[in-house]
Amino acid sequence: MVCAALDSPREHSISKIRTYIQLMSDFDYARLFYLVLLGAAVLLWFFAQNRASLGKLTQQALIWGLIFVGVIAAVGLWGDIRNTVQQGQQIASDAQIELPRADDGHYYLTADVNGAPVLFVVDTGATQIVLSQADAESAGLDTDDLAYIGRAYTANGEVRTAPVWLESITVGPIEDLGVKAVVNEGDLEQSLLGMDYLQRYSSVEISGGTLVLKR
What pLDDT was estimated at residue 91? 78
Is 139 among the domain residues? yes
On whether both 53 and 124 belong to a single domain, the answer is no
Is 11 among the domain residues? no
What pLDDT was estimated at residue 186? 86
On whether both 38 and 139 belong to a single domain, the answer is no
What pLDDT was estimated at residue 163? 96
H or E element that contains 78: helix 78-85
**Tens digit of pLDDT for each residue in 24-63?**
444 455 556 666 666 676 666 666 666 555 566 566 666 6
Q: How confident is the model at residue 147 (pLDDT cuts 50, 70, 90)?
A: very high
pTM of the model: 0.59
Mean pLDDT, to the nearest integer, of 68-89?
Answer: 54
Domain that holds residue 98: 88-214
CA-wise closest residue to 169 among 209, 135, 214? 135
From CA 137, how far away is CA 7, in angstroms rounded?
10
- Tell me how many domains the chain contains: 2
On whether both 124 and 199 belong to a single domain, the answer is yes
CB of 160 closer than 8 Å to CB of 130: no
Is 24 among the domain residues? no
> 84, 99, 121: which is the final residue of a domain?
84
Task: Evaluate if residue 64 carries a pLDDT over 80.
Answer: no
What pLDDT was estimated at residue 106? 93
Average pLDDT, the chain: 76
CA-wise closest residue to 181 among 198, 194, 199, 200? 194
From CA 42, how far away is CA 44, in angstroms rounded?
5
